[in-house]
Amino acid sequence: MKIKDLVSYWDKHARGRLTQDACSIALSDQHHRQLEELSALYPLKPSQDLMRDLISAALDEIETEFPYVQGAQVVAYDEDGFEIYEDKGLTPEFVHLSQKHIKRLKARQPEPVT
Q: Whole-angstrom Cα distance, residue 58 to residue 21? A: 19
Lowest mean pLDDT among 8-12, 22-26, 29-33: 8-12
105 has a pLDDT exceeding 90: no
Q: Whole-angstrom Cα distance, residue 32 to residue 15? A: 26
N- to C-terminal Cα distance for the chain?
A: 28
pLDDT category at 23 given cuts 50, 70, 90 is: confident
Model confidence pLDDT, tens digit, residues 78-92: 999 999 999 999 999
> Which pLDDT does position 14 carry in this prediction?
59
